[in-house]
A and B are shown apart, each in its own frame.
Chain A
Amino acid sequence: MYDPQPPDVQNDQTVACADARATVVEMADIWKAFDDFQALSGASLELQAGEIHALLGENGAGKTTLSNVLTGIYRPDVGTIRLDGEQRRFHSPAQAIAAGLGMVHQHFRLVEPLTVAENIHLGRPELPRRLSRRRLISETAQAMEQYGLTVNPTARIWQLSIGEQQRVEILRVLLRGARVLILDEPTAVLTPSEATELFAVLRRLAASGRTIVFISHKLHEVLAVSDRVTILRRGMNVATRPAAKMTPEKLAKLMTGTERVMEAPRPSKGRGKPVLELRNVSARGDRGLVSVREASCTVHEGEIVGVAGVSGNGQRELTEIATGLRHPFEGTVAIDGQDLTARLPGDFVSAGVGHVPEDRIGSAIVPSATVVDNAVLRAFRTGELSRAGVMRRGAVRVFTDRLVTAADVQLPDIDVPIANLSGGNQQRFVARREAWAADRLLVAAHPTRGLDVRAADQVREVVLDRRDAGCAVLLVSDDLDELLAVSDRIVVMYEGRIKGDFTAAKARRKEIGYLMGGGDLVGGAGAEAPS
């Protein structure tokens, strides 16, 4: 049901549940910066006994950083943590767990060759002096019964499914005496039925008085399992709300934000021939699950097509398909009418495709190589930089100098490893390099994520310049404001499908948010959302 209540983005974290419960944890005004990236800017969190509290936000919103601060992995730059009303500071995860704050990480901390029972007892404080295999197993079985988490205690970790490994991890944290259990995107690795089982376990734990913090960006799950939701955005609280009063589209709206007004989009000079044509493309993600389903999309010359959606709905895979890094198992990919389905990334590069990937450090940069070598990563085959397989070293250096200047990158000299540059500088460097490489198509995933306002504007300007030069642009972003500001058309991805196709002028935030939350438009593009 869509509730046409006006959006409300005030900071009202004190909305109490009907039955006022005891506050267990209170984090207030937490600030944390990494190098030049401000991860948390005055975030707060209030947890009550016996509740399941969802922590919702896009990638980079600060969810994981906030929970790492709570569990003693990071120390906040500024801010206070109160546990049962008393102020605490944790210098290590061990201190936090001793105080009853336990975290189940996205990547499990289990010892694969050891058995379940052995893993559960590793580092357990009240470990008996004399250990026997039988005792370990019986204590494990007893604990499993107590918490309703059953796994064969004698199985070795590597033999277990991901869902079972997660149960072991949860059990291990519980046996350390955790009263507050934080789960970082626990369902990201689970099948739907495993996720349902996990939710049942979480509800039982909450019913026994424990507090569960559930980190996610999957809206349906958040609503299905949690009592209250705290929404973070750019390291700040947007709102804390009882889940019962929320809908997926309201959550999507709060996550992607409404308060920031960007300059009016510079209109396109008109679109030309189709450049990128995806037809009924389906592909599997890294875990082998189908991540893109029968997606069709055409991007024309001189046009920016924005891809909106909550992260993890197939956007990354879509950009990889459009650049040849991932091969679809059905459907076709064409650039300028040339069928490039199942061709190598090199063929896409030759076809004039530039790509700012989501994971810049991992896949667009060679950290150990120099700035020079990274500058020519895309263009080294062109006649300007090499002839008959021989690099023109002078031209390469001139090219690098020009790129560094254009990208406004601060560095002492171009022969240092690029790993010495800050993240923001690397990002501007990659964005400019790819804009240069993109003769026909620029595929950009979250090109401004983590940048400060000025740098983000610079990068957006690069993207608009490419479009005005007649290049086609496919732009993926979490930030709906940004998409609305620069896109000429907007499509929405949900569970691997492309839904809706809005011309930017007609796009309405409400409808896009509705599609992002999994809704369906009845009359096709531009239709009013059902009420």
Chain B
Amino acid sequence: MSTMENADLVNDRKKILQPAVLDLKEVSVLYSGKAAVKKVSCQILRNRITAIIGPSGCGKSTLLRSLNRMNDFVDGVTIEGEILFADQNLYGIEVDPVQVRRRIGMVFQKPNPFPKSIYNNIAWGPSINGYTGSMDELVERSLSQAALWDEVKDRLQESALNLSGGQQQRLCIARALAMEPQVLLMDEPCSALDPISTSRIEDLLFELKTHYTIVIVTHNMQQAARISDYTAFMEMGIMIEFGETDQIFTRPNIKRTEEYVTGRFG
């Protein structure tokens, strides 16, 4: 297959509209009555990377955390609007937040491996969720998916804390992948890492999107432009613009977006 054809194929694939995995309808997040996210509506499409950008304090992390109910652990948070996941509202009364987090995984800003062995870091999630298959296989597959297997296969029983920061973050990604999540949420996963580790993780995300749906919050606009298919720009809790990444970065519809992506503020 020639390079030309390959590029066409990629473009074609992009044009095929994927079904929405998450459908946000006028979502507001309030911290003890004060809105940190205001009436956000958008769709997260399957097998695509959606980036959320915006100045710090704009509510992008808050929005991300409301997508797998991690905000439940912050006192005084209330959610308005609907977030539909496979036709179920994440905040419906019949919904079990624990189940939500099994389906929608998360990777955090700073690598946060458990102070246990590398193996157990991966195996714990599936084991508490009743996984009955071969754990060794699952660990190997998850670590391979996170491009970490070759580096750690000989020391699976060593403490995860001995890994470098970049390796730890990939371990955290592998740990989330072991649960086979429908969606993977990433909260500035590279902000604590050096440029080399960052580029490894970016490559990894590119590969992962053939199997997973990824939402990534980043303060790094170049990163958003490099890796994402769709970009949402937020400011002061409002989603100013949402669209294909090319469009957002080259011909945004809204002036604020243009000012931000061209670096005139923020």
The answer to whether A binds B is no
Q: Which A residues form the contact surface with B (CB < 8 A)?
A: none
Q: Which B residues form the contact surface with A (CB < 8 A)?
A: none
